[in-house]
């Protein structure tokens, strides 16, 4: 019996608004994370959350959505495991806490809060076209670079 | 691409203390839930939590552990996706909120709080040798009966 | 300058439904807690929550309401400090955590969850016409007895 | 009987590290908020949290500390009502949710997360020597200006 089949959890955070360019980045990031054997965790809704989950599922990955509300049906269709927290924006910190590395793609104030909470918790943050609030964020220029940086953080923790 | 591969979430709650008789019930319950295509969610630690996850994994099921602390490595080895909430006992309510049905097996005060929170949220609770605090708890005498009752709650919600 | 003017926090928990007999107990309990220099913390809504706060205010006490929703205006008029948690029933555990002693008066499933969480946290619980789920609950027959028991728990912790 | 004696809740957020210049701003801000009849809510620890509470108490104000841990004794001595949340950094969002206006003074990543969560919740944020991440933050140059801006937000909500 293979235990802990899930692989390491990587969070992809970003806006729920639809933006073709960011969604494309998110989808590719999700795909590459699944290819590397990682579990994707995100907020379970639209925009970057849906796109990253779609990418992960297209490569057979596992996707976890930590939803702000109480209805699991609010999760987008690419989320395997919708977890209805009922915590509102407070679920942002659960996403950060559950992940070994946080990849931020674009994003509004919710994403900024997640970045700040991750940095406060000394968790590695990789940024793709996101808030430039700290040199503690590892900048990436495209999805492959973001995933490579995330995997190297994972390796350095072993 | 198969979306939402996870299946419905069923919580198995119970004590972290080791009790052969309860662990045996929990393991069989986990096995039968996996056989029925359900995702197991529990508190990720020992006792009933470890036994139910071991049962689910032995049938190839998916297991989610919502941990009280911040270290995912605290999860037992049968948890595929350890979610480190850092919420302490408050994670009990997350377990209840995330599940469509709650199966309580034995249990101490933590389990009692989860039962009460589930009943308060009008969530179906199936009880196996657990607290007898309400006729709203559906009694089961063994694991097959508990899983059958849970599946029939799922069906009635469709 | 007098520091920490608040006094010890005592929680009064119970149903939001209106019941004259329980409300009368709650009001007297709130009054006696204020007289003893304690700060009252409760869930901020109706029934036992409103009655206990009314009792505390009639003796000039300080009252804190930890609300389930996001609107502080939902607090009853006897709450001095409404704290809108947005946590739903999860705020029950905050009430328990914030208090040195928990007094349970009557109550439904929400109250049962608070009692269980308090017992799990080894916090003293005093019960007035409430759930009889454990001998760890200190039984009281009336409000003066409940407050005396609570104060003696406070003293034993000094 | 005077109900709701507490007055509106205003949060002062900022770093726990000691910085004479920021502490001086925080103390003056706390004093002026108390003078205006506001209740101060903050994270209950050191630095800006202690200084703002000291200022409020020196004018007879009421101070609420939402602590990250489980021990109310961790609160600084100027906190009247220490609420031990056990939520870690997640208590930051409780501070934001409980307040009608958020005043940010200096601050590190924790403060940045609180600012972002407040902006996400469309709650007014007044900034004193703090993160310049958004034009939605109302800039103030000194404590009187910050308190005036906060009070005018309160008035506009009536």
Q: Contact C120/B113, CB-based, under 8 Å?
A: yes
C3-59 pLDDT per residue, tens:
456 789 999 999 899 999 999 999 999 999 999 999 999 999 999 999 999 999 999
- Chain centroid to Cα D7, Å, comes to 14
D145-157 pLDDT per residue, tens:
999 999 999 988 7
Q: What pLDDT does residue B3 have?
A: 40
Residues of D in contact with A112 (CB under 8 A): 112, 116, 119, 133
Q: CATH assignment of B9-143? A: 3.40.50.450
C80-139 pLDDT per residue, tens:
999 999 999 889 899 999 999 999 999 899 999 999 999 999 999 999 998 888 899 999
Quick one: average pLDDT of A29-42? 97
Helix (H) or strand (E) holding C117, with range, is helix C109-120
| pTM for this predicted structure | 0.92
Q: Contact B116/C112, CB-based, under 8 Å?
A: yes
Quick one: average pLDDT of A146-152? 97
CA distance B52 to chain A (A): 13
Q: What's the N-to-C CA distance of chain C in angstroms? A: 23
Flag whether pLDDT at D142 surpasses 80.
yes
CA distance D95 to chain B (A): 17
Measuring CA to CA, which residue among A111, B33, B157, A69 is closest to residue C86? A69
CA distance B1 to chain C (A): 36
- ipTM higher than threshold 0.90: yes
D44-103 pLDDT per residue, tens:
999 999 999 999 999 999 999 999 999 999 999 999 999 999 999 889 899 999 999 999
Residues of C in contact with D39 (CB under 8 A): 80-81
CA distance B107 to chain C (A): 11
- The size of the B-C interface in CB pairs under 8 A is 48
Its CATH architecture, for the domain D9-140, is 3-Layer(aba) Sandwich (3.40)
Retrieve residue A32's tokens. Answer: 């590459």
DSSP state of C124: -
Residue of C nearest to B15 (CA): C120
Residue of A nearest to D94 (CA): A90
Retrieve residue D148's tokens. Answer: 């005036």
Measuring CA to CA, which residue among C102, C100, C106 is closest to residue C116? C102
Which residues sit opposite B138 in a β-bridge?
A: B126
Rounded-to-integer distance, Cα C62 and Cα C30, Å? 10
CB A64 within 8 A of CB A81: yes
Flag whether pLDDT at C148 surpasses 90.
yes
Q: What pLDDT does residue B5 have?
A: 64
C52-68 pLDDT per residue, tens:
999 999 999 999 999 99
Residue of C nearest to D91 (CA): C85
Nearest to D117 among A113, A120, A134 (CB): A113
Flag whether pLDDT at A101 surpasses 90.
yes
Rounded-to-integer distance, Cα C57 and Cα C43, Å? 16
- pLDDT level of residue A142 (50, 70, 90 thresholds): very high
Nearest to D3 among C2, C5, C57 (CB): C57
Residue of A nearest to C88 (CA): A86
Residue of D nearest to A108 (CA): D120
C69-81 pLDDT per residue, tens:
999 999 999 999 9
Which residues sit opposite C13 in a β-bridge?
A: C104
Q: Contact D110/A93, CB-based, under 8 Å?
A: no
Per-residue pLDDT in tens (0 to 9) along chain B, 158 residues = 344 567 899 999 998 999 999 999 999 999 999 999 999 999 999 999 999 999 999 999 999 999 999 999 999 999 999 999 999 988 989 999 999 999 999 989 999 999 999 999 999 999 999 988 889 999 999 999 999 999 999 988 75
Measuring CA to CA, which residue among D157, D103, D106 is closest to residue D126? D103
Q: What pLDDT does residue A4 have?
A: 53
> Chain C contact for B71, CB < 8 A?
no
Flag whether pLDDT at A126 surpasses 90.
yes
Q: What's the N-to-C CA distance of chain A in angstroms? A: 23
Q: Contact D117/A120, CB-based, under 8 Å?
A: no
Residue of B nearest to A91 (CA): B85
Phi, psi of B85 (to 5 degrees): -85, -30
Domain A9-131 annotated CATH 3.40.50.1000: no
Rounded-to-integer distance, Cα C11 and Cα A76, Å? 40
The 3-state DSSP class for residue B65 equals strand
The C9-14 sheet, strands edge to edge: C81-84, C63-67, C39-42, C9-14, C101-105, C125-128, C137-139
Q: What pLDDT does residue C132 have?
A: 87
Interface of A with C in 51-70 (CB under 8 A): 70
Q: What pLDDT does residue C1 have?
A: 38
Nearest to D116 among A116, A121, A134 (CB): A116
Cα torsion D138, D140, D143, D149: sign: negative
Characterize C139-149 residue by residue with b for buried, 16 or more Cβ atoms within 10 angstroms of its Cβ, and e for exposed.
ebeebeebbeb
Q: Contact A113/D120, CB-based, under 8 Å?
A: yes
Q: Which of A84-93, A136-145, C64-73 has the lowest mean pLDDT?
A: A84-93
Radius of gyration (C-alpha) of chain A in whole angstroms: 14
Residues of D in contact with A131 (CB under 8 A): 133
- The size of the A-B interface in CB pairs under 8 A is 90
CATH topology for the C9-132 domain? Rossmann fold (3.40.50)
Ordered alpha helix ranges (H), C45-102 = 48-58, 91-98
Q: Contact A90/C88, CB-based, under 8 Å?
A: no
Rounded-to-integer distance, Cα D48 and Cα D39, Å? 16
Rounded-to-integer distance, Cα B112 and Cα B118, Å? 10
CB D111 within 8 A of CB D19: no
Residue C141, C-beta contacts closer than 8 angstroms, at least 6 positions apart? C128
């Amino acid at each position: 019996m293979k235990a802990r089949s899930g692989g390491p959890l990587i969070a992809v955070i970003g806006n729920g608004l639809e933006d073709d360019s960011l969604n494309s980045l998110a989808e590719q990031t999700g795909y590459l994370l699944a290819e590397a054997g990682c579990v994707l965790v995100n907020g379970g809704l639209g925009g970057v959350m849906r796109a990253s989950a779609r990418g992960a599922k297209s490569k057979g990955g596992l996707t976890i959505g930590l939803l702000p509300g109480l209805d699991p049906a609010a999760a987008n269709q690419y989320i395997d495991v919708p977890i209805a927290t009922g915590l509102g924006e407070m679920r942002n910190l659960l996403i950060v806490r559950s992940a070994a590395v946080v990849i931020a793609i674009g994003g509004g104030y919710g994403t900024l809060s997640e970045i700040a909470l991750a940095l406060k918790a000394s968790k590695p943050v990789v940024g793709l076209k996101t808030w430039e609030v700290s040199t503690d964020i590892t900048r990436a220029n495209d999805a492959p670079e973001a995933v490579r940086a995330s995997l190297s953080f994972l390796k350095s923790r072993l």
